[in-house]
Structure 1
Amino acid sequence: MTSSDSTRWGLILVIWAAGLGAAAQYGKISVVFDRMAELYPLAGGSIGFTVSLVGLLGILFGVVAGMFVAGFGYRRTLVWALWIGALMSALQALHLPFPAFLATRVIEGLSHLGLVVAGPTLIAQVASDKSRGLAMTLWSTFFGVAFTLLAWLGLPLVDQFGVLSLFGAHAAIMAGLAILLTVALRNVPVPERQPVPQLARLPALHWQIYRSSHRVAPAAGWLFYTACFVAILTVIPPFIDENLRGFVLGAMPLTSIAVSMTLGVFLLRYLAAVRLVQIGFALCALIGVWLLLVPGSPMACIALAGAMGLVQGGSFSMVPQLNETAADRAQASGAMAQAGNLGNTIGTPLMVTALSLAGYAGMLATVVALFVGGFVVHGLLAMRRRY
């Protein structure tokens, strides 16, 4: 695959908007989670599955999703993933019975996986070598931006028209993006399709990807990042001054995005993405010690989010830097999807367990250990690539 001579920023922004739709597949439930019991009062503890089931297919098949996307076609995957997402949200807006609602969330996971694998691969394709770092950093912001927009625009919609209206709005947006990208991608040169792997070969293909220090590197660090980010936003708030809590929680994702898009993009001009991610992990570990010494410090919380922004942008930029072909990039993105879903799944229970067994100090020690783990794993993989 050769890079384009000039960056198609308009198309990149539309693909990024599809990423916002993918993030909203998680966020549309997260932001109204306290109101889901209004829709399903008999669900009890099972209501938690309304969030986690989207990640099920990502955990099971994320690492090989890139191979299937390469075989099915990047344009086709992106558009069909949007249509599937639109259909599932439209069905959810009909107030389905609870088991049927959970089934739509599982299918929505297929849509999410297609979007997060095909989206960054296509962005890397239509960005020039000079602009690719900025383009991939922009893509890396899709979760933070989507959650912010859902808080600013989605919650007022829910307050006025109810929870089901949010699902309907999401369906309309996903369908609109599907139509727009069908037209926008029509004349975009994309990599040739690859043979779809046979199911019997999937275990061997997993091993093939995970033993590659180039393809697995972005995912390896991403696992440590995702195990911390959502978990920290979940377990830290009770330790922050109640008068400042709302401000700090709103500022943290925005600070992460701002640092990623400014300082992160600037540093990528002079540093390899792997080095930037290691710097981010090292700063996160140091700020974690700060939070350990000054529990719930608002400045430390915001600084931690900023440092995590370096890891965020650098991790996605690492995919095209370490992998030359579109097929390898898609496999690396698939591994990142698997690692991200796994990290989001295990992170919060891990932090809650550490908090219950060893208190605040034990929880922060776990956070620091994870950040150090991210730094070390990138160092070890970099050594493998050199020898």
Structure 2
Amino acid sequence: MAAQYGKISVIFDRMGLLYPDAGASLGFTVSLVGIVGIFFGLVAGLYVSSLGYRRSLVWALWIGAGMSALQALHLPFGLFLVSRLIEGLSHLSVVVAGPTLIAALSSDRDRGLAMTLWSTFFGVAFTLLAWFGLPLVAGFGLLSLFAAHGLIMAGLALWLGRALRDVPVPPRAKLPALRDLPGLHLPVYRSPWKVAPAAGWLFYTCCFVSILTVIPPYIAAEQRGYVLGAMPLASIASSMFLGVFLLRHFAAVKVAQLGFVLSACGVLWLWLQPGDPLACLALAAAMGLVQGGSFAAVPQLTLKDEDRAQAGGVLAQAGNLGNTIGTPLMVLALGLAGFSGLMAVLLVLFLGGFLVHQGLAQMRRHLPE
């Protein structure tokens, strides 16, 4: 599912070979998926809970598989962008339905582990694309990556369609009318329970992809490939081992806050020693705690499945917004104030993530749920 983003990102420098006349419009091949999430994240949460989580998940996978299959035919550029727009809706449905089902089907003891495992999807996807997708492209061309992605998504749709057929799933909510959608947004944004995971996630996503984008020039050339490949793995390992251990003993929001504080410490280390490989890996590992804690916070803070779907929709919305604005923000800071400006912005964002969770926790203590 995360490969719906990653399959373009890893070959973006070669997309001009497919569409030589597209020019700057090639940027939309990546951003359209995120733009859908920004505008329709909460709407997806409302509709997925009405249409059914299992049905939404399986059909979203089939739609994603169909779009990848069409892309493998080398569509004209305009139609390719339309397919990416539809793929954004598919991606959004999976992001909302998947974790809601996982939380509903997991035991209380294992829910933190399950949600942390889910939270690694971006890092795992980019790692697999680097290990297997790029060699596939080198051997069979760019279109082969789209075909392979379509086959994998179709296989997942078949497997989950059968595996979830007899599994009890959460009841459906009432289908909202279009005229009611604006009014349904505000109560969700005002809820310190539903919006808390998304609020922290916005600060995290502003940093994660942008760090991998702007830090490489400061890492020694002979170590750069190793460090960039190891950073997502360090984040995943931290989530799955230290994060899961902490989630068994502390609230998910506290784990995310610890991750933000340790990430700020990692930024200070990098500020003092620019490009230091250990500092890069330590920063990535610290961010892994934010990653796992943020997703685990959704079922901890919202007990009803409908509320979890709404919280998941806002989380997707915040994640797409952060991914969209993060890199331009870092590039701007770098251009205005150099490396120190970049580090200062990262420090403010990580401390901001800690403080926004602190503020929302205060609100939860003084408001009835």
2:195 aligns to what?
A: 216
Q: Does 1:344 align with 2:343?
A: no
Q: Distance in 1 between matches of 2:191 and 2:248?
A: 26
Counterparts of 1:67 and 1:362, CA distance in 2 = 40
Could you tell me which residue of structure 1 aligns to residue 132 of structure 2? 153
Task: Determine if the alignment matches structure 1 residue 249 to structure 2 residue 233.
Answer: no
Helix, strand or coil for the counterpart of 1:175?
helix
Q: CA deviation at 1:176?
A: 1.0
Instruction: Please state if 1:359 is matched with 2:342.
Output: no
The question of 1:259 aligning with 2:238 is answered yes
The one of 100, 104, 109 aligned to 1:130: 109
Choose from 20, 37, 54 the match for 1:41: 20
- SS at 1:192's partner residue? coil
Q: Deviations for 1:168-219, whole angstroms, at most 9, x for unmatched residues?
A: 0111111111111111111111111111111222222111100000000000
Which deviates more from structure 2 when the two are superposed, residues 292-301 or residues 225-234?
A: 292-301
**Distance in 2, Cα, partners of 1:206 & 1:297:** 44
Matched, 1:112 2:85: no
Structure 1 residue identity aligned to 2:128: L
Equivalent in 295, 302, 309 of residue 316 of structure 1: 295
Deviations 1:213-260 (A, max 9, x none): 000000000000000000000000001111110011001000000010
The match for 1:144 is 123
Alignment-mate amino acid for residue 85 of structure 2: V
How does the TM-score come out when normalised to structure 1? Answer: 0.94
* Cα distance in 1 for residues equivalent to 2:94 and 2:340: 38
Structure-1 separation of matches of 2:43 and 2:155: 28
Q: How does 1:263-274 map to 2 (within 5 A)?
A: 263-274=242-253
Letter in 2 for 1:305: A
Structure 1: how far apart are the matches of 2:189 and 2:59? 28
Contact 1:64/1:205 (CA < 8 Å) preserved in 2? Answer: no
Rounded Cα–Cα distance in structure 2 between residues aligned with 1:202 and 1:56: 18
Distance 1:122 1:67 in 2: 15
Report the residue type matching 1:309 in the other structure.
G
Deviation at 1:306, TM superposition (A): 0.1
In the alignment, the residues of structure 1 paired with residue 61 and residue 169 of structure 2 have an alpha-carbon distance, to the nearest angstrom, of 18
Matched, 1:183 2:137: no
Letter of the structure 2 residue corresponding to residue 373 of structure 1:
G
Matches within 5 A, 1:295-310: 295-310=274-289
Q: Secondary structure at the match of 1:42?
A: coil
- In structure 2, how many angstroms separate the alpha carbons of the residues matched to 1:372 and 1:196? 39
In structure 2, stretches of 5+ residues that fail to align are none
Counterparts of 1:6-21 in structure 2, within 5 Å, are: none
Deviations 1:253-282 (A, max 9, x none): 000000100000001111100101111000
How far residue 155 of structure 1 moved from its aligned partner, in angstroms, is 0.7
Q: For residues 344-365 of structure 1, what are the alpha-carbon distances to aligned partners after superposition, in whole Å with 9 as ceiling and x for unaligned?
A: 0000000000000111100110
How far apart are 1:297 and its partner, in Å? 1.2
Is 1:71 the counterpart of 2:50 in the alignment?
yes
Letter paired with 2:63: I
Distance 1:101 1:219 in 2: 30
Residue aligning to 2:73: 94
Aligned-pair distance for 1:66? Answer: 1.0
Q: Which runs of 4+ in 1 moved over 6 A?
A: none
Percent same amino acid among aligned pairs? 69
Q: CA deviation at 1:76?
A: 0.5
Listed one character per residue, the Cα deviations across residues 76-131 of structure 1 (whole Å, up to 9, x for unaligned) are 10010001000100000000010110110000000000000000001111110010
Match of 1:331 in 2: 310
2:254 is aligned to 275
Contact 1:231 1:347 in 2 (8 A): yes
Report the alpha carbon displacement of residue 64 of structure 1 after superposing the two structures with TM. 2.5
Find out whether 1:174 has 2:147 as its counterpart: no
- Could you state the TM-score of these two structures normalised by the residue count of structure 2? 0.98
Of stretches 194-203 and 167-176 in structure 1, the one that deviates more from structure 2 is: 194-203
User: Structure 1 residue 239 and structure 2 residue 218: aligned?
Assistant: yes
- What's the CA shift string for 1:270-304, capped at 9, x where partnerless? 11001011110001111111111111111111100
Asked if structure 2 preserves the Cα contact closer than 8 Å seen for 1:86 and 1:171, the reply is yes
1:312-340 deviation digits (Å, cap 9, x = unpaired):
00000000000001001111110000000
The count of corresponding residues between Structure 1 and Structure 2 is: 366
Q: Deviations over 1:119-160 (max 9, x none)?
A: 000111111001000000000001100110011111111011
Distance in 2, matches of 1:199 and 1:373, equals: 35
Amino acid at match of 1:70: S
Q: Write the letter of the residue equivalent to 1:155.
A: L
